[in-house]
């Protein structure tokens, strides 16, 4: 009887150790997934509509959100175009995001290079994830947040027609308009399936962006 009990205890102990060993192998250290991330959509905007503090403020927000989930050692850039103003040259969104490839936090490649990004890419509702791996609410969900600030045309360049399509180079949270894309590849506008250039926003305030299905979100890409 004593031998039977001891044998049972030994078997139970071995099983417990085996489970613990498996858990240790399967456990993912904090930030391990994020370390390979090179693309995400911001989980939140700056809170003042399309006023992101200019390109510098938008880039800083990308950096902050990436670091918050454990992504270190990368240089992040917001996918935003700006117009020539105050002695500064215009900038195309496509020219400031590096060469690729770009992966979301789950390691899925969304685009292999700049041309692929603006062509037959893998940008979908399921792959365009936030820095923490969450899916943003899209058209048909409440609240709809599928309008993403870009200021870009379909090819990633600035629309230079003399009008403001960047909410005063991302410094206006009131008047103006910005070109936005649909990360879920559906909706209204002239290019409803475009991830980066679906239509212009109603205005630049948080209220106006939200009223037409946005929330001041934008795309972030690692350039290295």
Is the Cα dihedral 161, 51, 220, 190 positive or negative?
negative
Is the Cα dihedral 68, 71, 72, 78 positive or negative?
negative
In the predicted structure, residue 112 carries a pLDDT above the cut 60: yes
* Mean per-residue pLDDT, 159-187: 95
Percent of the chain as helix, strand, coil, to the nearest 5: 25, 20, 55
Hey, which of 30-39, 94-103, 158-167 has the most confident mean pLDDT?
94-103
What are the structural domains of the chain?
31-224 (3.10.100.10)
Q: Are 131 and 105 in contact (CB under 8 A)?
A: yes
CA distance 156 to 80: 9
Please write the tens of the pLDDT for every residue from 136-148: 999 989 999 999 9
Band the pLDDT of 35: cuts 50, 70, 90. confident
pLDDT of residue 33: 66
In the predicted structure, residue 58 carries a pLDDT above the cut 60: yes
Q: What's 166's DSSP letter? A: B
CA distance to 55, 74, 93, per residue, from 202 (Å):
21, 34, 21
In the predicted structure, residue 15 carries a pLDDT above the cut 80: no
What is the chain's alpha carbon radius of gyration, rounded to the nearest angstrom? Answer: 22
**13 vs 63, residue with greater confidence:** 63
pLDDT of residue 16: 44
Band the pLDDT of 30: cuts 50, 70, 90. very low
Mean pLDDT of the chain: 88
CA distance 88 to 189: 30
In the predicted structure, residue 4 carries a pLDDT above the cut 80: no
pLDDT of residue 7: 41
Q: How many residues comprise the chain?
A: 224
Band the pLDDT of 26: cuts 50, 70, 90. very low
* Mean per-residue pLDDT, 54-58: 97
Q: Could you give the percent of the chain with pLDDT greater than 90?
A: 81
Q: Could you give the percent of the chain with pLDDT greater than 70?
A: 85
């Amino acid at each position: 009887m004593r031998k039977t009990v001891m044998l049972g205890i030994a078997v139970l102990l071995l099983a417990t150790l085996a489970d613990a060993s498996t858990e240790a192998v399967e456990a993912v250290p904090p930030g391990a997934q994020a370390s390979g991330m090179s693309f995400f959509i911001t989980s939140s905007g700056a809170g003042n509509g399309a006023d992101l503090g200019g390109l510098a403020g938008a880039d800083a927000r990308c950096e902050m959100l990436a670091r918050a989930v454990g992504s270190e050692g990368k240089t992040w850039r917001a996918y935003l175009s700006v117009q020539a103003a105050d002695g500064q040259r215009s900038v195309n969104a496509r020219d400031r995001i590096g060469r690729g490839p770009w992966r979301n936090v789950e390691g899925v490649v969304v685009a292999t290079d700049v041309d692929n990004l603006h062509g037959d890419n893998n940008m979908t509702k399921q792959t365009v994830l936030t820095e923490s791996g969450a899916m943003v609410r899209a058209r048909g969900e409440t609240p709809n947040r599928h309008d993403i600030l870009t200021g870009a045309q379909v090819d990633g360049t600035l629309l230079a027609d003399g009008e403001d399509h960047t909410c005063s180079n991302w410094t206006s949270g009131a008047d103006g308009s910005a070109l936005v894309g649909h990360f879920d590849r559906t909706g209204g506008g002239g290019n409803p399936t475009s991830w980066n250039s679906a239509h212009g926003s109603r205005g630049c305030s948080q209220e106006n962006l939200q009223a037409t299905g946005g929330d001041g979100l934008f795309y972030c890409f690692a350039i290295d």
